[in-house]
Amino acid sequence: MTAVRARVASTLKYLSLIVASVVVLLPLGVVLLTSLKTSDELATGSGPLSPPGDWLNFANYVTAFEKGRMAEAAFNTFVILIVSIVGTVFVGSAAAYAIDRFTFRFKGLVVGLFLLATLVPSITTQVTTFQVIDQLGLFNTRLAPIVLYLGTDIVAIYIFLQFMRSIPVSVDEAAKLDGASAFAIYWKIILPLLKPAIATVVIVKGIAVYNDFYIPFLYMPDQGLGTISTSLFRFKGPFGAHWENISAGTILVIIPTLAVFLMLQRFIYNGLTQGSTK
Amino acid sequence: MTPTSSSLRRGGRQALTPWMFLLVPLALLVVFSYVPIINMVVYSFTDWDGVSPDYTFTGMENYVEIFTRPELFKVFVASAYYLGAAVVQIVLALYFATVLSFNTRFRNLFKGILFFPYLINGVAIGFVFLYFFQEGGTFDTVLGLFGLGGGQLWLGDPDLVNVSLSGVSVWRFLGLNFVLFLGAIQSISPELYEAAELDGAGRWQQFRFIIAPSLRPLIGLTAILAISGCLSVFEIPYIMTGGAGASETFVIQTIKLAFRFDKTGLASAAAVVLLVIILLVAWLQRRAFPEERVAS
């Protein structure tokens, strides 16, 4: 009796996992199929689930890459990604170093300011953030998203703070006795020891920046300043009904994500677990 | 931390050192977090259009308008759909996390598949599902295979559009909840399960008495993130329907007020209302789960 029940339970378990996998993969798979079809194939309407006539028809990808200005988008996204990630690592670790390793006046106030800001979702303040960016003359420059990604990333400071607490203070003090300055301690001792936390911040930040639509959409409407997200979004305008092209563009945007995921799976899982619950 | 003897000797310079490290982080925090918040509160009491050099203070007028014009308030109906979807999402995430924490074949494959949507670009997801929900598209075809469906406009029908869109939101964010839950379940000592099994506890009892209690704080945190998340939904509806009609959310409405209708004052007041609601939810969460800190 229990053996039968166990078999039924096990069957249901695998069934639910398979159904969930189909629900995840089907919408993506159909877009992949469509991206390989010609516009005639789509028009004759053999249905979205039918395979393409030629599995190696990459013409839509060429159209999407060129007309979607994907090379430019990849360049802009890459520049913004690198500068924001490097900046976040330095800004976050410097703040965490000051807060964790020093006693100073108004320390409670400073910590409180950072803490309170985490509770304010940045999307609610965009109306007035826009005025600030505009007045600084950063509107329609790559610096706008960069400074916003840097300035609003308080989670990174927390990840660094959390990790820095596990580095014994005696390490700093030994260096101090050898005559090292605070800056040298930060640069030569703390930063290298923070490596695992840096990996977490790079992953969490990297995903967020690559996928962000809102900030580049609002602050960089200029044609030449498209990122992966905004270029794909704008590509749909003139190609509104050409789903074979839009599908190709969509797959082009997903491929790098898939590649990074397959390579860094373990780090991504760990990074997210640390980044959002600590 | 107590100051060391050397720091006492070099008191003046030492006191400045932390501020050198804090200079840039604090400047960024003030300029991009606090200046906008303060401006927002100030503008919310004015009739500013966002472009004119000057504006006049109108007192509580904007707030009165928000709470008395029913069409400005109906966006919360859309939020309710996303909140309902969030509940479904948390339950499903719990189920799959529990199932995959036990011995399962192809465990990593299933884990990867369930998680991957979370990493995908929001615009790409919007397009994938725009195609999926088309008339005679993938969804209709699949329903047809089971003899179901009959010409619903999944994104055009005002009664259905929020169901479709919040379904996309579950598809996208389930993976994150699931991986966080799975991580928490796996950090439970395996000896606990062994002991429970020796005592004759089944899978359900193991879930009920071992897994659920140890996940309580994380579920609390997830719930509050879900509430603030469902109030600030923007990307998916904006990309898929342009936030038209019934699919308009609070944030889309605020952005339209500010940037399309040049009503910066009214939009600021709306944003202040949203902020107050979210802070209230965060405060309630802290009272309900006092042992947990909300850090993200």
C-alpha span between B111 and A188 (Å, rounded):
39
pLDDT at position A276 is: 59
Cβ atoms B48, B263 nearer than 8 A: no
Distance from the B158 Cα atom to the nearest Cα atom in chain A, whole angstroms: 22
> Does the model's pTM come out above 0.90?
no
Domain-embedded: residue B19: no
Which amino acid appears at position B216 of this protein? Answer: R
Contact B141 A211 (CB under 8 A): no
Residue B170 belongs to domain spanning: 67-288
- The CATH number that applies at residue B122 is 1.10.3720.10
The answer to whether residue A208 neighbours chain B at the CB level (below 8 Å) is no
Residue with tokens 């039924």: A8
Q: Could you give the number of structural domains in chain B?
A: 1
Tell me the sheet residues that pair with B46. Answer: B57
Element (H, E) at A147: helix A143-151
* DSSP, res A225: G
Query: Is the pLDDT reported for residue A178 higher than 60?
Result: yes
Q: What is the pLDDT of residue B8?
A: 45
User: CB-CB: which of B32, B100, B114 is closest to A132?
Assistant: B32
CATH class of A71-277: mainly alpha
Contacts of B239 (CB under 8 A, 6+ apart): A213, A233, B122, B123, B126, B127, B130
pLDDT(A162) > 90: no
A277 to chain B, minimum CA–CA distance in Å? 7
Which whole number is the average pLDDT over A131-153?
A: 91
Q: What is the mean pLDDT of residues A218-244?
A: 89
Judged against a pLDDT cut of 90, whether residue A193 lies above it is answered with yes
pLDDT confidence of residue B9: 45
Chain B residue numbers with beta carbons less than 8 Å from the beta carbon of A6 are none
> What pLDDT is recorded for position B132?
94
Query: What's the pLDDT band for A273 if we cut at 50, 70, 90?
Result: confident
Query: Which of the residues B96, B125, B128 would you substitute to probe the A interface, choosing the one with the greatest number of A C-beta atoms within 10 Å?
Result: B128
Q: CA-CA distance, A219 to A260, in Å (whole number)? A: 27
Look at residue B143 and tell me if it is in a domain. Answer: yes
ipTM over 0.85: yes
Given an 8 Å threshold on Cβ–Cβ distance, is B268 in contact with A127?
Answer: yes
Instruction: Show residues of chain B in contact with A253, CB under 8 Å.
Output: 121, 123-124
Residue closest to A252 by CA, chosen among A27, A52, A61, A73: A61
Among candidate residues A250, A138, A157, A153, the one with its CA nearest the CA of residue A197: A157
Q: Using one digit for the tens of pLDDT, what is the confidence trace for A31-86?
A: 999 999 988 888 776 778 888 888 888 999 999 899 889 999 999 999 999 999 99
Asked if A127 and B176 come within 8 Å (Cβ–Cβ), the reply is no
Cα(B63)–Cα(A66) distance, integer angstroms: 48
What are the chain B neighbours of A214 within 8 Å (beta carbons)?
Answer: 234-235
Task: Identify whether the C-beta of residue A26 lies closer than 8 Å to the C-beta of residue B118.
Answer: no
Using CA coordinates, name the residue in chain A closest to B177. A273
Is the residue at B227 inside a domain?
yes
Residue A183 CA, distance from chain mean position:
30
pLDDT > 90? residue A209: yes
Label residue A275 by pLDDT band (50, 70, 90): low
Whole-number pLDDT of residue B74 = 81
Residue A230 confidence (pLDDT) above 90: yes
B127/A31 CB distance under 8 A: yes
Q: What are phi and psi of B134, to 5 degrees?
A: -55, 160
Cβ atoms within 10 Å, residue B177: 26
B229 within domain boundaries? yes
- For chain B, say whether A272 makes contact (Cβ under 8 Å): yes
Give every residue of chain B whose pLDDT is below 50, as ranges: 1-10, 292-296
Contact of B44 with A164, CB cutoff 8 Å: no
SS3 for B59?
coil
Q: Is the pLDDT of residue A120 over 50?
A: yes
> What is the tens place of the pLDDT at every residue in B238-266?
999 988 888 898 888 888 888 888 888 99
